[in-house]
């Protein structure tokens, strides 16, 4: 079986301008929604209490809400999740009341309704200062990933590749965040982990393509940059799609079997994978092209002495 029977190099770069314009528009839209709507941050970042309660019969959300607000909580969110019997309650952090008292008093209020017995499945309380820290740590992690990858790529390839890869992948990250802002999906720590994993994973993609660009530069001495990039993308496209398809199979499996915790995690990964393919084929390569990648950048004069078929020959810096 062979899915991809490509006779010629597909002229990806001919449409680079168009594709970049589209990328820029999606990017701008994502940024707009990110600022306009903001992320629906989970309790882990905002601080507060989340309680997950299971009832023996389908729960009446209105009465649950009433029971909780009767304790003097404003801005209480009560939602079903999974089944009608499972209820999730979000309480804002409150000064002077310990988490213990908070969840105990709420549970006591819920248990007062004896017709429908409530059992506690999960409580999560996060103090406001922890939330702050998690947010800053998340940003630090993001910065470190970006810097680490840029340094590695600049060392292994060339700064132009490093810059274009990181730009392309930040574009992915911003678009994932844009989706989360647009649909107001809950942005939790797990989603953050997914976003950072996507960053590492789709850099992967660009690396494969750039690796091929380097190799083609070395082998096809007469081809110009645009054709080299086209050839590199065409010859890796089959691998790109099969790999991502396989990873996506795993992610779908998490999406369907993983339950609530992994729901948004796998959703973030799905968006990341789809845009990862797009951005490494179109965005990263075309940015590298705009930045003016030349044969001389990758094929050092020294490399000529080496066996040209050795893929590692360009590794020396």
Among 62, 257, 301, 305, binds another protein (CB under 8 A): 257
Contact between 134 and another protein (CB under 8 A)? yes
Pick the binder of another protein from 13, 89, 181, 251 (CB under 8 A): 251
| Segment lying near another protein (by CB under 8 A), choices 12-20, 172-180, 256-264, 295-303 | 256-264
Binding of residue 126 to another protein (CB under 8 A): yes
Pick the binder of another protein from 2, 62, 75, 307 (CB under 8 A).
Answer: 2
From 33-41, 66-74, 178-186, 238-246, give the range in contact with another protein by CB under 8 A.
Answer: 238-246
The total number of residues shown for the chain amounts to: 317
Q: Binding of another protein at residue 76 (CB under 8 A)?
A: no
Binders of another protein among residues 175 to 214 (CB under 8 A) are 189-190, 192-193, 196-197, 199-201, 203-205, 207-208, 211-212
Tell me which H or E stretch contains 81.
strand 77-81
Residue of 59, 64, 153, 277 that binds another protein (CB under 8 A)? 153
We find the least distance from the C-beta atom of residue 25 to another protein, in angstroms, to be: 27
Q: Which of 37, 65, 239, 295 binds another protein (CB under 8 A)?
A: 239
Instruction: Examine residue 11 and tell whether it contacts another protein (CB under 8 A).
Output: no
> Residue 242, interface with another protein (CB under 8 A)?
yes
Query: 7: buried, middle or exposed (CB in 10 Å: 19+, 13-18, 0-12)?
Result: exposed
Would you give the distance in Å from CA 280 to the centre of its chain? 14
Q: Residues binding another protein: what is the number (CB under 8 A)?
A: 90
- Binders in 12-51 for another protein, by CB under 8 A: none
Contacts of 129 (CB under 8 A, 6+ apart): 47
Minimum CB distance to another protein, residue 249 (Å): 4
The closest of 99, 90, 177 to 138, measured between CA atoms, is 177
Strand 186-187 and strand 48-55: the pairing is unpaired
d(CA 145, CA 139): 10
130 lies in the binding site for another protein (CB under 8 A) = yes
* Opening angle at CA 250, ends 244 and 252, nearest 5: 95
The answer to whether 54 contacts another protein (rule: CB under 8 A) is yes
Residue 123 engages another protein in binding (rule: CB under 8 A): yes
Check: CB of residue 78 under 8 Å from CB of residue 87.
yes
* Choices 18-26, 28-36, 55-63, 265-273 (CB under 8 A): range interacting with another protein: 265-273
Binding status of residue 69 toward another protein by CB under 8 A: no
Q: Residue 179: which residues within 8 A CB-CB, separation 6 or more?
A: 30, 185, 271
Q: Which of residues 270-289 bind another protein (CB under 8 A)?
A: none
Nearest-approach distance from CB 29 to another protein, in angstroms: 26
Out of 17, 100, 112, 302, the only residue in the binding site for another protein (CB under 8 A) is: 100
Give the separation between CA 215 and CA 212, rounded to whole angstroms: 5
DSSP annotation string for 134-196: HHHHHHHHHHHHHHHHHHHHHHHS-HHHHHHHHHHHHHHHHHHHHHHHHHT-EE-HHHHHHHH
CB of 299 to another protein, least distance (A): 15
How many alpha carbons lie under 13 Å from residue 10 in its C-beta half-sphere?
Answer: 14
Q: What is the DSSP letter of 312?
A: G
Q: Which residue is it, tokens 């607000």?
A: 69
């Amino acid at each position: 079986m062979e899915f991809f029977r490509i006779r010629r190099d597909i002229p990806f770069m001919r449409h680079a301008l168009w594709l970049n314009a589209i990328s820029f528009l999606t990017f701008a839209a994502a940024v707009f929604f990110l600022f306009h709507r903001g992320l629906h941050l989970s309790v882990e970042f905002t601080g507060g209490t989340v309680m997950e309660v299971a009832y023996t019969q389908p729960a009446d959300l209105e009465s649950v809400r009433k029971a909780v607000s009767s304790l003097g909580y404003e801005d209480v969110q009560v939602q079903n999740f999974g089944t009608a019997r499972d209820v999730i309650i979000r309480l804002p952090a409150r000064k002077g009341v310990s988490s213990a008292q908070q969840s105990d008093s709420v549970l006591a209020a819920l248990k007062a309704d004896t017709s429908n017995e409530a059992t506690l499945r999960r409580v999560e309380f996060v103090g406001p200062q922890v939330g702050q820290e998690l947010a800053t740590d998340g940003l630090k992690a993001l910065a470190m990933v970006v810097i680490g990858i840029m340094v590695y790529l600049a060392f292994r390839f060339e700064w132009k590749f490093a810059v274009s890869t990181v730009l392309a992948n930040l574009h992915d990250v911003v678009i994932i965040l844009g989706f989360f802002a647009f649909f107001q999906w809950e942005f939790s720590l797990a989603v953050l982990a997914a976003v950072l994993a996507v960053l590492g994973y789709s850099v992967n993609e660009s690396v494969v393509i750039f690796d091929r660009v380097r190799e083609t530069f070395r082998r096809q001495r007469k081809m110009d940059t645009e054709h080299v990039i086209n050839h590199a993308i065409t010859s890796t496209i089959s691998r790109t799609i099969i790999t991502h398809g396989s990873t996506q199979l795993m992610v779908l499996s998490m999406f369907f079997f993983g339950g609530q915790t992994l729901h948004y995690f796998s959703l973030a990964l799905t968006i990341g994978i789809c845009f990862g393919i797009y951005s490494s084929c179109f965005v990263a390569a075309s940015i590298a092209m705009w930045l003016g990648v030349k044969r001389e950048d990758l094929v050092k004069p020294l490399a000529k002495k080496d066996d040209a078929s050795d893929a590692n020959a360009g590794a020396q810096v």
